[in-house]
Structure 1
Amino acid sequence: MSRSLSLRLVSLVILSCYLVPYALIGQIGAWYGSFLFWCLAGVAVIVLNIIATAGFTEDAE
């Protein structure tokens, strides 16, 4: 996966973090639906950031 694609996917996850809790699961009274979404979104951002920064290396001099 390319770096630009993974950064775009991070942007999409961040956008969904604003839209999903208020638009899709805002009417659900139970807290665990929102908690599950936030846990999955957090894991997705961590994985996508690892993919985006995998090519960064420090030049040894």
Structure 2
Amino acid sequence: MLSPEIQLFMAREWLIAPTNSKVTLPAELESLPLTPAAIAKAKRFDWTEVNKLTADLATAWSKAI
């Protein structure tokens, strides 16, 4: 799974950012957010905060449907 060949395949076929630093993305993929620099800029969920809302969200969902 971590070999450069498999990582490149996954980037090309499924747009999964490679975790192997030896993978060189082809030019057609460089514009996509698959590089470490692009991933570093991504917004991340604060799952601790999200988990605090789970019960209320489930209740609201149940009432809505």
Under TM normalisation by the shorter chain, which class is it? Answer: under 0.3
- Larger RCO, structures 1/2 (Cα 8 Å, 6+ apart): 1
- Return the index of the structure with the highest Cα Rg: 2
* TM-score using structure 1 length: 0.26
* TM-score using structure 2 length: 0.25
- Of Structure 1 and Structure 2, which has the larger fraction of its residues in helix? 1
